Chains A and B, each alone.
Chain A
Amino acid sequence: MRRAVRGALALVVAVGAWGCGAGSAETEDGRSERQSRAAPSALTGTEMPAAGAAADFILTDTHGRSYDFLQETRGSVAMLFFGFTNCPDVCPVHMANLAAVLDQLPSRISRQVTVVFVTVDPQRDSPARVREWLDKFDRDFVGLIGDPERVRAIQLDLGLPPAVVQRDDAGDPNIGHAAHVMVFSRERDRRWVYPFGTRQSDWARDIPLLVEAAPPARPEES
């Protein structure tokens, strides 16, 4: 009996110590607190060369109007994503996570963020279809449609691998595309990429930093 009581207590202490250790040694997104303390404002996204940060291009939005990306989004943090509405995994996850976080952030933050979705499957993604799909996440998300060659050129200009369309035996397109969200600073002098796997906790931490003042670049790791 005593041995069992001692064993039970030891187990409780061990699990408690493990829980406390797991909680304090690393934050939920896997980065150590030591690293966070050393660079408290470092972002989850990877900063890209400043060239291309202007991202000056014009496409058509879901209402059929011309949309000048640079002019329309200057002054807000722009989040640009290339995808397609039939995408079964990456695209809806990115859109859902961004929508969920923007919905929870204070409006003074969220209203300074513009999410722009550019379809890489214009054959199937009509403006109405893109609008309907985006509305499931957030009615403020902007949908853009353009000529495939033009969209391809924009992706190359931004340093993103262009989408690749292959057709299966039934003639249905299988589309491979970059899974990154590209984020542009309000002043259009800096940009970052956030890969697939970026979690809501990452966005919830980074978006206010991006909106209020983009933090200094993370120092090069030695």
Chain B
Amino acid sequence: MRWWCSAQSIAWDWTWRPYVGVWILIVLMAAGYLLLSRADRTDPDSGANHGRGWLFWLALFLLWAALDWPLGALGGGYLASAHMLHFLLVGLVAPLLLELGLPTSAFARLARRPILLRVLRFLTNPLMALAIFNAVLVITHHPRVVDGWMATQLGSFGIDALWFTAGVVFWWPVVCPVPARPRFPDLARMGYLFGNTIIAGFLALILVFADLPVYGIYELAPPTGWLSSREDQQIAGMLMKVGGALILWTVMSVIFFRWYRRENPESQVAGPPPSHAGVQG
């Protein structure tokens, strides 16, 4: 039994293969969330907001779906397109939903730890977060890194860990209220999200228009019989371009309409009060 998905030189089949490391990670994250929620319930002053808890569980489900069989295995060593879907889920969707689903009390606790807060303030400064995410994006999509690292379970785990961490850092200044960023208003946040589409778009174009396969690991993988290596790479590029843009533009739209409603209160229809997400600025 393998603990993490990676490239294997065996023909693809639909035999279920769980990855132990993925299950342990998911169980640990679920246990951590339950402990946090339990502590909140016993502390009436915690100000816990569990209304968005389902987003955390959705994040956990998507993380498991991306990392475990079959998507994890297909992306690990058979299809570049599956690898890209894996990236979108682990590096963009799951971190966003996870941060949105965290209880407010988790951020309140962070605010009481000055050293951690200082580190967070540095790492999640929008410029720094943008640089970190795009640096990870460029490094982990470089052919030598993909071909070298995806060949081993440890390397594949390293890429997933980098994606997830970079995703958490990237979304933090957009959705997390701690540390407060009064100089990062909604319009700046939209610009920040748009800025993140540039390098990813460039990488996607390379994949779509390259004459030859970029990644040896997928070019030389046992064929699944569904796609040629070039078609697979083009789909990967399209996923990166369209899928990534869809996620970012969706969040930009939400921020824009919130900003518009705040700026034009006369057009506002009575609705639920805003939650912790997107309250800063």
Interface on A for B, CB 8 Å cutoff?
1, 3-5, 7-9, 11-12, 14-15, 18-19, 22, 26, 28, 88-89, 92-93, 96-97, 100-101, 104, 196-197, 199-201, 204
Task: Please determine whether A201 and B11 come into contact, CB atoms closer than 8 angstroms.
Answer: no
B230: contacting residue among A1, A100, A201, CB under 8 A: A100
Task: Please determine whether B131 and A93 come into contact, CB atoms closer than 8 angstroms.
Answer: no
Task: Please determine whether A15 and B138 come into contact, CB atoms closer than 8 angstroms.
Answer: yes
Task: Please determine whether A88 and B222 come into contact, CB atoms closer than 8 angstroms.
Answer: yes
Pick 7 A–B contacts, CB within 8 A, sort by A: A4-B122, A15-B138, A19-B138, A89-B11, A197-B216, A199-B219, A200-B229
Interface string of B1-21 (1 = CB under 8 A from A): 000000001110000000000
Task: Please give, as numbers and ranges, the residues of chain B lying within 8 Å of A9 by CB-CB distance.
Answer: 131
Which residue of A has the minimal Cβ distance to B213?
A: A200
Give Cα distance in the complex from A199 to B147, angstroms: 13
Contacts known (A4-B127, A28-B143); A11 close to B135, Cβ less than 8 A: yes
Contacts known (A5-B127, A89-B222, A100-B230); A15 close to B144, Cβ less than 8 A: no
Q: How many Å from the CB of A29 to the closest CB on chain B?
A: 8
Task: Please determine whether B222 and A11 come into contact, CB atoms closer than 8 angstroms.
Answer: no
Q: How many Å from the CB of B13 to the closest CB on chain A?
A: 9
Give Cα distance in the complex from A3 to B144, angstroms: 31
Shortest Cβ-Cβ A-B pairs, 5 listed: A88-B11, A4-B125, A8-B131, A89-B222, A8-B127
Task: Please determine whether B138 and A201 come into contact, CB atoms closer than 8 angstroms.
Answer: no
Interface string of B134-172 (1 = CB under 8 A from A): 110011001110000000000000000000000000000
Interface residue SS majority, chain A: helix
- Residues of B within 8 Å of A, CB-based: how many? 31
Interface string of B100-123 (1 = CB under 8 A from A): 000000000000000000000110
B177 within 8 A of A: no
Task: Please give, as numbers and ranges, the residues of chain A lying within 8 Å of B270 by CB-CB distance.
Answer: none
Contacts known (A15-B138, A88-B11, A97-B219); A7 close to B213, Cβ less than 8 A: no
Task: Please give, as numbers and ranges, the residues of chain B lying within 8 Å of A1 by CB-CB distance.
Answer: 125
Task: Please determine whether A4 and B142 come into contact, CB atoms closer than 8 angstroms.
Answer: no
Q: How many Å from the CB of B263 to the closest CB on chain A?
A: 26
- Give 14 A-B pairs besides A7-B122, A93-B221, A200-B219 with Cβ atoms closer than 8 angstroms: A4-B125, A4-B128, A8-B127, A8-B131, A8-B132, A12-B131, A12-B134, A88-B222, A89-B11, A97-B229, A100-B230, A197-B216, A200-B213, A204-B212
Task: Please give, as numbers and ranges, the residues of chain B lying within 8 Å of A92 by CB-CB distance.
Answer: 223
Task: Please determine whether B139 and A93 come into contact, CB atoms closer than 8 angstroms.
Answer: no
A93: contacting residue among B125, B132, B138, B222, CB under 8 A: B222
Give Cα distance in the complex from A97 to B220, angstroms: 9
Task: Please determine whether B139 and A18 come into contact, CB atoms closer than 8 angstroms.
Answer: yes
Task: Please determine whether A15 and B228 come into contact, CB atoms closer than 8 angstroms.
Answer: no
Task: Please determine whether A104 and B135 come into contact, CB atoms closer than 8 angstroms.
Answer: no
Q: How many Å from the CB of A126 to the closest CB on chain B?
A: 20
Task: Please determine whether A22 and B142 come into contact, CB atoms closer than 8 angstroms.
Answer: yes
